[in-house]
Amino acid sequence: MQKTIFYTPVISHAMHYIARCVLFLLGWTFKANPQVVPKYVVIAAPHTSNWDFFYTMLVAFALRIKVYAMGKKSLTEGPVGRVMLWFGIIPIDRSQSNSVVAQTIETFNQHDNLVIIIPPSGTRNKVQYWKTGFYHIAHGAGVPIALGYIDYKRKCGGIGPFITPSGDIEKDMVEIREYYKNITGKNPEKQIDFKAV
């Protein structure tokens, strides 16, 4: 894995305080899960706006979580590509979804400490169903799923409960959906309405 801004001592330390100040000035709060878990997958939901990345990074810095985030390959190309890689973006080729799952499981197996954020909707556009790659990665790597969130209605972001995948995805998704029923994205019309599921 490439070294990121979170592993740059002086800058990451400064960003921790800058992020806390920015969140405070914007009227946002952040919450951590007290559990100490060395490796896990974070669901990034709901994902309805480009602003999600901004707030996710602020919350990660505020909580001192050294994260990597899966994003479309185009984000790491062009003039700002190196910057996005430095911010921990892992380029994903969406045409190779099965390969992505296998490669990410192998990456988890090779590291003692690793946190990867995955937006299960796969896009900020309206979708009918979440992609299940995050679940198969966590289950295959034997790591828990952290329910991460950015709630624009309450102006709060953070890490909620950890769920250990049982292998019964339908059963586990009931618990996951229940948690996200009252989380509001920046563009609510684009997110899945779990209250109706």
Domain ranges of the chain: 5-196
Bridge pairing between strands 156-163 and 67-72: unpaired
CA–CA separation, 6 and 4 (whole Å)? 5
pLDDT at 27: 97
DSSP type of residue 30:
E
CA–CA separation, 194 and 84 (whole Å)? 31
pLDDT at 37: 92
Does residue 184 come out as left (phi exceeding 0), alpha (psi in the -120 to 50 range) or beta?
beta
Contact criterion met (CB below 8 Å) for 76 and 85: yes
CA–CA separation, 121 and 176 (whole Å)? 13
pLDDT at 14: 96
Q: Which amino acid is at 4?
A: T
CA–CA separation, 101 and 92 (whole Å)? 10
pLDDT beneath 70, residues of the chain: 1, 93-98, 122-128, 193-197
Q: What is the pLDDT of residues 128-145, one digit of tens each?
A: 678 888 999 999 999 999
pLDDT at 97: 56
Range 110-114, long-range pairs (CB < 8 A, 24+ positions): 111/1, 111/39, 112/38, 112/39, 113/38, 113/39, 113/66, 114/1, 114/38, 114/39, 114/68
pLDDT at 195: 58
